[in-house]
Amino acid sequence: MSQSGATLENAAPPADAARLSSPHAINTGRRAVAAASIGNALEWYDFSVYAFFAVYIAQNFFGHADSSVQLLEAFMAFGLGFVVRPLGALVIGVYGDRAGRKAALTLTILVMAAGTGIIAFAPPYTAIGVGAPLLIVCGRLLQGFSAGGEVGGAAAFLIEHAPANKRGKYASWLQASMALSNILGALVATVVTLLFTHEQIGDWAWRIPFVLGLAIAPVGFWLRKTLDETPHFQAEMERAHRQHEAQKAPLMQVVREYPRSLAIGAGFSILWAVCVYVLVIFMPTYAQRTLHFEGRQAFIASLIGNCFMAVVCVWAGALSDRFGARKVLTAGALLMLASVYPLLVWLHAWHTSAALIVVQTAFCVMVAIFTGVAPSALSMLFPTRVRSTGMSLSYNLAATVFGGFAPAILTWLTQSTGNTFAPAWYVMAACVAALVSIAFLPRQALQ
């Protein structure tokens, strides 16, 4: 396999390509998109609500008297979940390349549910002392391990079910479903803040979103158990069987045969991770703690912005099928590079609910243009036999280093330097790294 890239066409023989284009295969692919997207949305919902309710988690589980230090510790626990993401990417990614995409996706949903259950029912610091933050860390580690294998497995599943002319649109549902999870999280957060007082939320009502998130166990497990395995994976297993090919370790294959693809994928995944965690997930907390908006204002702005994000993700994926992933990725990165700082300056100057909604919506649209295309671009860097492992490693290396600790880093930078525009500079630096990597994307796969 050439190191310059791996298209899906060379992952399956012509007979299988014809099978993928049949009406039955197209209907199956649409059902796969629906089931995988719903499961993915439920999975990432638990990530979103942790960020939304970080202020309340901080005051319940971290014993420092300074509320700013409490919040920093809560975000450090959030970031620790990313430390195990590469491990989850390795274990679940390799499992997905060996046992199949369906098996890997079923595993991720169960592990995420376990982590969410720990956070939902953990006793507070006043009840068990240091054991409280340790339980939060344990829950976050399980969630991080699960999420480590989710991106590669879900993206591989979606693109391997896609017709040849709709791979970008199919894969875009990975990020669109994450937007749906943010919508669900923001909707639940808005309802909680409207129905309960600040004191009630701080005491116990913050747990409601996490308890609701436990629905991923029966719903997500059932959805993913009913999915069909992807035609590409089945074709690869049949080919290996016909040729009596010994099963190789996917991890060693990726590292030895595709180091350039790993580097390129990790490079533009930096912006993929950073823009989501800074401009979408961290923004409600930033709006409350730094700009002093009320919680309901921040959550409503997030809810509206993510509605646009879900739609624009699919639109961007369709654009990539027509004009090429390279052009859409470049446009998204350049738009963020030029617009994030001016938008934050304008929000600081006007400081109204309407301005917050406009800025959050603009952020979500720009994020969607880039991230709606990123999954299909990343998937095309690796062949079927190592796709889940390669994608999981590329994305999670970037997400662990630059995305997971972004809220903690930005909270610390804002408090220590007094520079309230730290989020903008962080995203702009990620844009530069992404643009460099995009220039090296294999042209034959992405034009």
The domain spanning residue 380 has which CATH number?
1.20.1250.20
Query: Model's pTM, two decimal places?
Result: 0.77
In a domain, 218, yes or no: yes
Provide the sign of the torsion angle of the four alpha carbons 210, 212, 215, 220, taken in this order: negative
Q: Are 8 and 160 in contact (CB under 8 A)?
A: yes
Measured between alpha carbons, how far is 64 from 56 in angstroms, rounded to an integer? 14
pLDDT tens-digit map of 304-313? 999 999 999 9
Q: Which two tokens stand for residue 364?
A: 């979500």
**Residue 379's pLDDT is what?**
84
In a domain, 332, yes or no: yes
In a domain, 3, yes or no: no
In a domain, 291, yes or no: yes
**Residue 17's pLDDT is what?**
47
Number of Cβ within 10 Å of residue 323's Cβ equals 13
In a domain, 2, yes or no: no
Residue with tokens 């990343």: 378
Give the DSSP H or E segment for 415: helix 406-417
Give mean pLDDT, residues 77-95. Answer: 82
Measured between alpha carbons, how far is 62 from 67 in angstroms, rounded to an integer? 9
CA-to-CA dists, residue 410 to 291, 370, 424, 431, angstroms = 14, 22, 10, 17
Give mean pLDDT, residues 25-53. Answer: 74
Average of per-residue pLDDT values in the chain: 82
Give mean pLDDT, residues 185-205. Answer: 88
Q: Letter for the amino acid at 309?
A: M
Measured between alpha carbons, how far is 371 from 395 in angstroms, rounded to an integer? 12
Check pLDDT > 70 for residue 44.
Answer: yes
In a domain, 4, yes or no: no
**Residue 123's pLDDT is what?**
95
pLDDT tens-digit map of 332-348? 999 999 999 999 999 99
Burial of 34-61, coded b for 16+ CB within 10 Å and e otherwise, reads ebbbbbbbbbbbbbbbbbbbbbbbbbbb
Phi, psi of 333 (to 5 degrees): -65, -45
Check pLDDT > 90 for residue 422.
Answer: no
**Residue 318's pLDDT is what?**
94
Give mean pLDDT, residues 205-228. Answer: 80
What's the domain count of the chain?
A: 1
Quote the percentage of the chain above a pLDDT of 90.
Answer: 33
Helix axes 387-398, 259-275, angle to 10 degrees: 50
**Residue 446's pLDDT is what?**
45
Q: Which domain holds residue 261?
A: 9-446
Q: Are 148 and 85 in contact (CB under 8 A)?
A: yes
